[in-house]
Every structure is written in structure tokens, then in C-alpha cells.
Chain A
Amino acid sequence: MDKTTANALLAELLAGRMPDAHGRFGPYGGRYIPETLVPAFDRLEAAVKRILPSQEFRDELGAELRDWVGRPTALSPMRNLSRRWGAEIWFKREDLAHTGAHKINNALGQALIAKRMGAKRIVAETGAGQHGVATAAACARVGLPCTVYMGEVDMARQAPNVGRMRLMGATVVPVTSGDRTLRAAIDEAFRDWVSNPDDTFYCLGSALGPHPYPYLVRELQSVIGREARAQILERAGALPDMLVACVGGGSNAIGLFHAFLGDASVRMFGVEAGGRGTGLGDNAARMPTGRPGVLHGTYSLLLQDEDGQVQETHSVSAGLDYSGVGPEHALLHDIGRAEYMAALDSDALDCVKECSTHEGVLPALESAHALWGARELARRHPGKRIIVGLSGRGDKDMPTLQNTLLSQGVPS
């Protein structure tokens, strides 16, 4: 993309004109949905337009974020990692939010909107289980029944989260079709909604899917960056040089990035799942090898073969194991406002160990990808002030960690 086009698109984004009336972020986004869902999406879009900016809703959401989620989350200076890596490392601590990850910001907001829309039930998909747990919790809080679709591969590797969802009253439905991970779970959640378009609210967990989800999820997650920006200005007296966040669908990253988009001096880095390596199907790195296509109702960068079939992905982290990426990230990538890198499974595991051992913070495997990104950037650019989006805590990963780090001997 040439510089002029990129600048024009960035200006549109900064002016708050993205997504546009068609749900587009430049070329990306849109709404590719079965006709049965069109009225449901029209209702959702109208409700989002009406409810999201209303003072009454903002007050209610703000109070619940404070009283029930525990916001604002801390911005912690990480002294030991700063010393080890030779940079000024700060964590935005979404691991401290209720239910243990940033997902609750979105799930709570959507559940409150569903309640106001008069929905009778909520359905959700989940990959790592964090969005499922957050949705189950939010539904319990607002008093709506909840059904969560989860691939059976993910149910095995995130078993503790399955139990948490069930304890909070959610029905967890194992998905045995397709790749039996997040992608298949989204397919099933859509099928549920296609079958029940009138009374069901689909609480989508990432900044992807058909319009207005990428917008809605970004708005609900932007609290991360708004808090972080105010906190760093107060604590450090200056903006950060860099932001680093992991990108699966991309909700925690877009949430952290958004408030800083206008700060031209702040570089933004998204870290994708590099998996086992660069082979087709060995990773979930959409930015370097993905081509534009339509999956789950949105036009974005997609891992697909020449015939337009969606490729299976691999990552040690269930939350990053997805073939597509949110449309706003695809735009940020194309216009160069954000940069993207990929961490291998082994890099992420190494950072879980380093962060746990030296800072007493057990990060989620997803967040550990961002840690690797920060470590790399610190090496390349010593002394910079870096905020890492620590999107979640690693308790849910204990089954995976038992089979990897812990079976190799406890770190000394």
C-alpha cells in the first residue's frame, strides 16, 4: 500500500470514521451472513448504536467494571524483567481482572446489552475457555441462561475452565465438527443463532466476525488502553515507546492499542502464534502469510489454501489458535500503524518460565507470546519504555504446563 493511501486510511480511523456504515475498516470487515441472521444483526446494530453511547449504560457498565470486575487493573512496573531485558517493562494487568483475563470487559458489556435488548438466552464460543468463563460469569451476574460452544480439543487442554463454566451455571457443548477448536466452535455458535434468531444474543468473544462485532468488542475492550494511557502518564510522566500484545482474534491488542492510535510516537506490536514453525498448518501467523478472504462473516487476512479452503492452525495456546484475524488488525497491518511478529510455542513457554520465576506472575500462554515480543524488542531497542498487555493469568494452562515445562523439571 502506498504512503498516501495508508495516511488517508489512518486519518479516517483517527477521526472515528471506522468502521464505516458498511462495517468496513478500509477494505476489511463487512457483514457476510446468512439471510436468516440479517434481521438479528440489524437489531443488534441498532441496539449497539443506541445503547453504547447512552449515559445510563455507561454508568451501569462503569459501576460493574469497578465493583464486580475490579477495574481499573494495575499497571505494574516489572523491575526484574526490566533489569534482565535492559528496558523499562510495564505490565497492564488484565490477569487481575475478575475471571482472570481481559475477556470479562467484553462479556460483561455484551451481557448488559443483551439484557437491555430483552434477550432470553446468550450463546458464546470459546477457545482457551477464558471468553466462555467470562460469559458464564457475566450471564450469572445479569441473570441470563448461557450456552457455550467449545471444541473438544480445547476442552481437553483447558479442562479447568470447563469446570468453572459449569459451576457458574453455563451449559458447555462439546464441538466435534471441523477442526474441533475455536473455529468450529464459532461455526456452531452461529448455527445455534441461525436456528434461534429471535430470542438469542450471541456474545462473540473477539474483535472479529460480522459487523458490528469488531466495533462492539473494540469499544468494550478499549478500557484497557484508556486506563493504561492515564496510568503511564501518571506513573512515568510520559507515553510509552512501545505497546506489545498478543493477537489471536485480536481483542486485547485492539483494546490496548486503541487509545494510543493518535500518539504517533508510540509503536504498536502484535504478536501472533508462531506455533511449531513456518510450515502451512504449523502456526497461526496470519499477517505474514494470510491472504484476504471471508471467514465467519468478515473479510480479513486469513490462512487459506489456493482454493479458498480455510487452513487448520497450530499453537500451544488455544486462545491464539485461529485462522483469521480481526479486520481492524488487518488494516493496522496494511497501513503500517501496527507491526506484527510471531512467537514460537517454545518461545512462549520460555517466557512463561522467565516471568513466573522472576516476577511471581504466571502469565497465560497467550500473554507469554506478548512477553516474547517485548523481550525481542528490548534486545533490539535497549532502554525503551514498553507496556506489555498481560491479557490473562496462566492458571487455566496448568494441564499444558504439566505436560511441558513441569515435565522437563521445575525451573530453578
Chain B
Amino acid sequence: MSASTSTPAQKLADTLRAVRRERVAVVAFLTAGFPRKDTFARDLAELAAEADVVEIGVPFTDPMADGVTIQRSSYEALKQGVTLHWIIDTLRGLPKMKAQLVFMGYFNPMLAYGLPKLAADAAAVGISGFIVPDLPIEESGAFEQALGAQGLALIRMVTPVTPPARLEQLCASAQGFVYAVSMTGTTGRSVGTGGVSKEVLDYLDKVRRLSSVPVCAGFGIREASQVAALAPHVDGVVVGSAIIEAMEKGESTAALLRKLRG
């Protein structure tokens, strides 16, 4: 299939595959409108210039899979009135980014927006997929259908405790990339200092064997040594809380990504 006829979901996978030929891909997370609404476009551009994929975090009042850092950024964004409508309106006015863009957020704000309309509006502003941590495959039918109509990916998450049969099922139906949660727990903790355990690496190898799309590991990645340890086992790494923390300290996120990538 030529590039011009491929769907956004396929382009997302193809981008990650192309990067992987050179190096491990970097997926950066940014809570939309954090720390300030008026700097979102600039903050996003800075990350998108350096990362291969940017996950735009849609804030929610009850982020139950997130640790304190992303909770805090989510809360700050909500306080400033960030909504899904505002995010989409803002993206509409921005020039096309080099990085692929995906939305990450909890299901209720998406449900409130209206699933078919959300899929269409997201596709129109260059979003290629969605990550929804509280939407397991059993509940995802309606959203998947809406996204499928626009060629967008519903990105599946798998975890170290996912049983083998389910892992196969999730990897088989994956689009865009597989988000391999690197540990049990909430975001923002550490997957291991100075190295990553053999169990985690074995699990990632297994996910990669089962998946026909690229595999990106996320949760707890905050050091260059971790990225180096993970790199042979995955196609990409997701960096989230470490970016938010850098922003809180007023540090450059582009510099952080360059440092992590080594």
C-alpha cells in the first residue's frame, strides 16, 4: 500500500518501524495545557521536534492509573479550563508536526464528547490514535468502531501480569503500536535504577514476538541507562512523568529527551 492511501494508524506504525531501523523511538507525554494553556502550542512543538510520537494527555478529574506527578499536571490543566474541545481547537490552528500525535486519557471525557464526533475531529487535526487506560478490550467495541471509521488506532496496553492467552489476543488486535506497561503500578515510579530486570525484558521480548505492530514500553522510564537497557527489546520508549517534572522545574524537555536517548 502506498503511503498516500495508508490510514493514520498504519502511518503511526510505519513511522515507528522506520525510526527503529536507526535507533529506539521516543514517545513523549505531555498533559495538554500544563503548566499553562497559553504555552501548550510551544511546549508541544518543542517535544514534537525531538520525539517520534507525542502523547497528548487529556486531563481528567479521576486519573486512577496515574501517579502523583501526572495527577498534579492533570489537576493544574483542569484548573485552567483545559477541555478536549479546547485541545482540538488549539491543534486545528497549528502547523503540521514532524512527530506523530496520539491522545491519551480516561474514557469519560471522550464519551462526553461523543465517540464518532471525537474520532472525526481528532482525525481532522492530525491525531493518529488513542490510548485509553480505563478501557479494556471488553468495553472498547463502540470506540473502536468509531476510530476504525476514521482509520485511527485504539492503542492496546499490555502489562507484565497479563496472562498468555490474553496477551496474544491483545497483540493480535493491536493497531499503531502496543503500549507495554513495564511494571505494575501507577505512572511516575521507576522501572528499576541503572538497569531493568530480566523478567521485564523477557516479557517485552514476548510482547514483541506476538505483536505485528511496534512495541513501546512505558511507565517508570526516567534514566538514560533504562532506555539503553530497554532499547534492544522494544521499538520505542514512553517518557511521561519525567517530562512533567522537567517542566515543573522549568527545564528544557528537548534536552531531557536528547539525554535519555543517549
Contact = CB atoms under 8 A, between A and B. Distances in A.
Contact of B108 (A36, A177, A190, A310): A310
B133 interface: yes
Contacts of A191: 64-67, 186
Most buried by B among A30, A32, A35, A198: A35
Interface of A: 22, 30-36, 38-40, 177-178, 183, 187, 190-191, 194-198, 293-297, 302, 304, 306-310
8 contacts: A178-B71, A178-B75, A191-B66, A293-B108, A308-B84, A308-B108, A308-B109, A310-B108
Nearest to B81: A307
B111 A36 contact: no
B61 A35 contact: no
Given A194-B186, A195-B185, A33 B62 contact: no
B83 A307 contact: yes
Contacts of B119: none
Nearest to A324: B62
B139 A32 contact: yes
Contacts of B135: 32
B107 A32 contact: yes
A198 B161 CA distance: 9
Interface of B: 60-68, 71, 75, 78, 83-85, 106-113, 133-136, 138-139, 157-159, 161-163, 166, 170, 181, 184-186, 189
Contacts of B84: 307-308
Contacts of A33: 134, 136
Contact of B184 (A30, A195, A302): A195
Contact of A308 (B113, B185, B186): B113
Contact of B64 (A194, A196, A293, A306): A194
Top 5 nearest A-B pairs by Cβ distance? Answer: A308-B112, A308-B109, A195-B185, A307-B83, A34-B65
A332 to B, nearest CB: 22
A190 B135 CA distance: 15
A293 B62 contact: no
B163 A39 contact: yes
A197 B111 CA distance: 27
Contact of B112 (A39, A177, A195, A293): A293
Contacts of A302: 108
Given A40-B161, A178-B75, A294-B111, 10 more contacts: A32-B107, A34-B136, A36-B65, A36-B161, A36-B181, A36-B184, A36-B185, A293-B108, A297-B134, A309-B108
Contacts of A178: 61-62, 71, 75
A100 B66 CA distance: 35
Given A35-B136, A36-B181, A194-B184, A309 B161 contact: no
Given A293-B111, A293-B112, A308-B112, A195 B134 contact: no
A90 B23 CA distance: 73
Contacts of B184: 36, 194-198
B108 A31 contact: no
Given A22-B138, A194-B65, A294-B134, A35 B111 contact: no
A294 B108 contact: yes
A32 B105 CA distance: 13
